[in-house]
């Protein structure tokens, strides 16, 4: 006894013409795009140069300033008073001419004057800063 299977109607309805059109359009797009990018590289254009440009030798890093509950300013595990911190920040800004950012992390129990003094030093030195007040653990 032979089993007869009916051919699905989906194969009869599925048209390949739109799929072929999409493939040809993508092929044309990539051919044109690659040719235009190649032409951009072939142009002989003298690029401008700057006389006072300084190469960036070190990736700029955000300086993290911690202020404990006693008001001590701690940067990289070293404690600073206001004058020493100001000198250290000035040197860091001189080493990073593109702009130094400072993250000030203050204990919530610290007197408000200490973070304000650090923000004032950052403003006078020309560094951008952000302030975060958190619990010390």
What's 75's domain CATH number?
3.30.420
Long-range contacts at 71-78 (CB < 8 A, ≥ 24 apart) = 71/110, 71/111, 71/113, 71/114, 73/114, 73/118
Three-class SS of residue 36? Answer: helix
**Residue 5 belongs to a domain:** no
Residues 30 and 80 in one domain: no
Q: Is-contact 101 127, C-beta < 8 A?
A: yes
User: pLDDT digits over 43-59, tens only?
Assistant: 565 656 666 766 655 56
CB-neighbour burial class of residue 133 (10 A; exposed 0-12, middle 13-18, buried 19+)? middle
Whether residues 75 and 33 fall in one domain: no
Instruction: Give the number of domains in the chain.
Output: 2
Task: Select the more confidently predicted residue: 127 or 136.
Answer: 127
Strand partners, 30: none
Is residue 33 located within the same domain as residue 67? Answer: no
pLDDT, average across residues 106-130? 87
- Give the domain range for residue 25: 13-42
Assigned domain for 86 exists: yes
Both 79 and 25 in one domain: the answer is no
Supply the pTM of this predicted model.
Answer: 0.53
pLDDT of residue 110: 84
Residue 93 shares a structural domain with residue 122 = yes
Q: Are residues 71 and 118 in the same domain?
A: yes
Please give the order of strands across the beta sheet that includes 101-107. Answer: 78-80, 73-75, 63-67, 101-107, 128-134
Predicted pLDDT of residue 57: 59
Distance, in Å, from the CA atom of 106 to the CA atom of 67, rounded to the nearest integer, reads: 5
- Output the CA angle 66-132-73, nearest 5 degrees: 20
């Amino acid at each position: 006894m032979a089993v007869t299977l009916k051919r699905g109607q989906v194969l009869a309805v599925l048209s390949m013409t739109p799929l072929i059109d999409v493939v040809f359009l993508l092929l044309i797009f990539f051919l044109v795009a690659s040719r235009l990018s190649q032409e951009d590289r072939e142009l002989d254009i003298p690029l401008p140069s700057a006389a006072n440009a300084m190469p960036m030798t070190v990736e700029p890093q955000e300086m993290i300033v911690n202020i404990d509950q006693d008001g001590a300013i701690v940067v990289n595990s070293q404690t600073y008073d206001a004058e020493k911190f100001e000198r250290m920040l000035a040197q860091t800004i001189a080493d990073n001419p593109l702009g130094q950012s400072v993250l000030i992390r203050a204990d919530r129990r610290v007197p408000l004057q200490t973070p304000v003094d650090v923000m004032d030093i950052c403003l006078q030195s020309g560094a951008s800063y952000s302030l975060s007040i958190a619990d010390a653990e």
